[in-house]
Amino acid sequence: MAIQMGQSGPGDLPEISEINVTPFIDVMLVLLIIFMVAAPLSTIDLPVDLPTLSGAAQHKPDKPTYVSINAGAGIAVGEQIVPRDQLLQKLNVADANKERPIFVRADRTVHYGDLMQVLEVLRSGGYTKVKLVALEGEAKP
């Protein structure tokens, strides 16, 4: 019995040198969905240690409105110190446009609860665009 190499007979199928990528794309889409679902679940229980800002500065308007909270939990609009209950009245005089962002600067020793109270007062007054201000520089441990 002899075998001929290199020649195909009339009943042989020709070789196809193309790759079918449809199964590969299907597998990649399934993996993408799995990672999209699993990624947020893996970060829920991690402790948060927020670093100082080391990114590039963002654009701010020509005349921003600053609300500052000092170490004694005193509040100032611009450079004028105001009582907490008059914060909204002073903001309405300084900047009545509630669509412009309010920049909040808080001393690093201010308690989180005091900062949240000021943010709640701003939210209740209709100022929903609030930006927190941080120092630029190297991240500190």
pLDDT of 4-35, one tens digit each? 555 555 667 777 778 888 889 999 999 999 98
pLDDT digits over 122-135, tens only? 888 888 888 887 76
Helices (H), 13-111: 22-42, 87-94
CB 92 within 8 A of CB 84: no
pLDDT digits (tens, 9 = 90+) for 45-56: 434 333 355 666
Number of alpha carbons in the 13 Å side-chain half-sphere of residue 67: 29
State both tokens at 126.
């209709």
Residue 77 is encoded by which pair of tokens?
Answer: 């609009």
In degrees and rounded to multiples of 5, residue 30 shows phi and psi of -65, -40
pLDDT at 33: 94
**What is the per-residue pLDDT for 110?**
79
In the numeric block, which tokens belong to residue 31? Answer: 């993996």
From CA 113, how far away is CA 104, in angstroms rounded?
Answer: 14
